[in-house]
């Protein structure tokens, strides 16, 4: 797929708290037909849905819920239709956050876990801002071809524990990619139609574009 081609349709959910333009530009570069919109009908109908997020956890979740974006995500996943969530968008897919601030700190509960502040130290300052390697599990499709690359992170909070109970789920257990910054934290999750990254693919150079290209190609 080449940039500018007529590729799969991707909606970047405009819930008010995301790097929508930089995300759209990166997706366009890898050949997606991109629309930035708060319209949840468009979000349900597109080949792929990209859920960005920057800033406070509660604000991002509230923004998604105000659009009924949580329902759009649920309906897509029920139909095995791909969703990619990034940074606080990824965090929003978990049960809850311990982040201070005003608003509901309950997440969308697609995955079990709580978003916690990174502890920080003299050698691992918070916010975690910059390039970092990741530990990719065997079988990852999202990271195919970039398993040994570095990606760009900007965050102070992350999920640091992950325990999966399938409760009779027909899906295999999620594939979890980890990174280190003073402690181990979740860098990415792949689970059926839902995937997410704590890092910003659109800011991660060629490796990030390769990952986005892999995801967009999966929509065909």
Active site residues: 87, 200, 202
Tell me the sheet residues that pair with 132: 151
Q: Give me the DSSP letters along 148-189.
A: T-EEEEEESEEE-------TT-SSPPPEEEEEEESEEEEEEE
Rounded Cα distance, 71 and 92, in Å: 14
In the chain, count of helices (H) and strands (E)? 6, 12
Rounded Cα distance, 60 and 81, in Å: 22
Reduce the DSSP state of residue 91 to 3 states and report it: helix
Rounded Cα distance, 151 and 83, in Å: 20
Structure tokens at 216: 């967009």
Q: What is the largest CA-CA distance in the chain?
A: 48
* 195 contacts 189 by C-beta, under 8 angstroms: yes
Backbone angles phi, psi at 181, to 5 degrees: -155, 80
């Amino acid at each position: 797929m080449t940039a500018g081609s007529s590729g799969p349709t991707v909606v970047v959910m405009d819930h008010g708290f995301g790097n929508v333009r930089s995300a759209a530009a990166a997706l366009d570069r890898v050949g997606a037909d991109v629309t930035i919109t708060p319209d949840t009908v468009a979000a349900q109908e597109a080949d792929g849905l990209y859920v960005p997020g920057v800033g406070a956890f509660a604000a991002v979740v509230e923004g998604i819920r105000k659009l009924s974006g949580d329902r759009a995500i649920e309906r897509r996943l029920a139909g095995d239709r791909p969703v990619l969530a990034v940074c606080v968008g990824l965090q929003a897919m978990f049960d809850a956050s311990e982040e201070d601030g005003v608003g509901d700190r309950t997440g969308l509960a697609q995955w079990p876990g709580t978003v916690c502040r990174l502890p920080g130290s003299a050698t691992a300052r918070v916010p975690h801002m910059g390039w970092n390697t990741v530990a990719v599990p065997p079988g990852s499709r999202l990271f195919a071809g970039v398993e040994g690359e570095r990606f760009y992170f900007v965050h102070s909070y992350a999920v640091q524990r992950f325990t999966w109970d399938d409760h009779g789920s027909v899906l295999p257990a999620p594939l979890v990619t980890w990174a280190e910054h003073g402690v181990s934290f979740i860098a990415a999750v792949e689970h059926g139609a839902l995937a997410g990254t704590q890092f910003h693919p659109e800011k991660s150079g060629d490796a990030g574009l390769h990952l986005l290209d892999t995801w967009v190609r999966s929509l065909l």
